[in-house]
Structure 1
Amino acid sequence: MIRKTLSIFLAILFLQSCNIGTSGTWKNDTIENEKRDQIKALNDQFFKALMTNNVKEVKTLLSDKLLEKGGNEIDKLIGDIYTTYKADSYRILDEYNVENTTTNVGNTIPSGISKDNDYVINYLALNKDMYVSLLIPNGHQNELLITLIYGKYGDEWKINIFHVGQYSFSKKTAPDFHKLAQESYKKSYLIDAINYSSMAKKCLRPGDEIFKYQKENDINTLYDKLMAEANAKYTFPLTLENVNTKPVLYSIQPQMIIDQGYSPMVWYISKISVQDTTALKVENEKVKTEVNNLFAGINKDKKYVFYRISNEIPDGKKLVRHFGIIDKLKE
């Protein structure tokens, strides 16, 4: 996951650091056509340079203050995107033009207040004329959000804020996962609810402090509630006492499969050697029954449950061999 902020002077400064002024805001089709066309040309130029690792070209579009602030981090961010995330085109999530009566004023831009995916953009405007572009590269199920905030210097637009963050997994955003978590919880599917809620947390701030969903507090509150309930109900590592080989379950994590959506990954330790795959499969049949009994809904409303078996808990320091089993559920 790429999550890196490049901004000038801590782009989200609190209002005590700002001047007092007024502003007018225009969104999408209400923006003046000439201005919108100017920014589109710059966005096209920026995106092409970003996706071809043309650091020099990207830097021609950045403001002097961002170049000063970003330093070598700009080069690294561009390189990371180039090596991990290819795209030929992008779409615009939203764009905003804000005209301020003074500089160094806080701009707060709500996309709306009632829809699930409504959000607020908040940043320090270094220029009177500001332009926000929220770009999403095409062709990926797990989407990034590229936040570009331009300021107008004389007759020239320059990027003051450049941020890349995770926007979605399998085309689902944080509020989408939150809704799925709520639905699972209503069915008493606690593990599914936790996994959906944890996915919501992973893509909750695609624009870091610049971008905040209106439902962020609800998402955080539900996650905390679910975790507290799970910690009170289950203690990990958890020995499966009803299985004669006494395997030890130590984690259940969400696994997102492209075009398939969410499935749980159950991690457990077996006393049977991971090389003895025949015996592991026999044991796993008993493990599946116990897991389904312990964790209501884990085998419902999805296509698979994944099992990853090892002879010790991975510590991240050495390679631990494992054996994987896929439980393909009945549709």
Structure 2
Amino acid sequence: MDIIITEAMGAPGLEVLRKSGYSVQYDPSLWSDVERLKAAVAKAKALIVRNQTKVNKELLYDLKNIKIIGRLGVGLDNIDLGTTAAHGIPVVTAKNANAVSVAEYVLAAILTISRPLLAASADVKAGGWNRKCFGGTEIQGKTLGLIGIGEIGHRTGIKAKALGLNVIGCDPRLTSYDIAPDLTGITLVSEEEVLRQSDFVSLHVPLLPSTSNLIDRAALARMKSTAYVINTSRGGVVNEEELYEALTHNQIAGAVLDVLHTEPPGAEHPLFSLPNCLMTPHVAGAAQEALNRTSLLIAAAVLLELGGDVSKYRVDVNSWL
């Protein structure tokens, strides 16, 4: 088999691969069986994964024929880039393909926090008519703080400003030639000021040693008691135990988490018990249009690399290590 796909892939990209002339094995559950996975990919030329497949040293050791690894998404914490580089295996990601989807999720989270329509609807259907409880608050004039101003942060900022939010942000990876802040109208401040000034803190950073537990007890202590944290990046960026402490002690108003340290979480996860913590199953970037774009982009990039060319979506490993 030439191309192995171990997790769910959008139909448009899958169709492109199947019509390419390469043989394709599509098994969305393959990632969950390590031994079957190793056997399947041993002779493959291309491996396409999402975020569940652990492309680690153990798996890479057996990948003698792999020419390219495609990542259906942008996060790379499930891929051992040091080992892929050592084996000379390039990696391509669906950079920017889900940026609109994630940005819209962040705005949906802010609106859900501010105008509790679902809770109001449930109350009315239960016989209530509590206008004082469900009026909510306006978001115009509030401050959105972005930690990370890549393509997703940029698009989130544009949409937020259109709704009347003030937008501030920081990004240690921002270079002097990045134009996102100027195009978006994001006011650049320090990370400490983002935490201190924001009514909503939205996280848009990769999971790296420098960002692991970025939102910890100290960071939460800098936030307003009326502020919310929104995480659509990676679960490891937020210290969940210390977030639980902050939420139970009303140190901050609440949180919206699309990602968790362990996915799916165990049934006894302490954050489940908190009404001021909204949780979704890693769907911020999973709007149907985003899934289709991602599948087409990765299909095209993988085929280009198999043909001996270099895709513009190839990962610069040095920027991640």
User: If the TM-score is normalised by the length of the shorter chain, which range does it land in?
Assistant: under 0.3
Tell me the TM-score normalised to structure 2 length. Answer: 0.27
Q: Which structure has more strand as a fraction of its residues?
A: 1
Structure index of larger Rg: 1
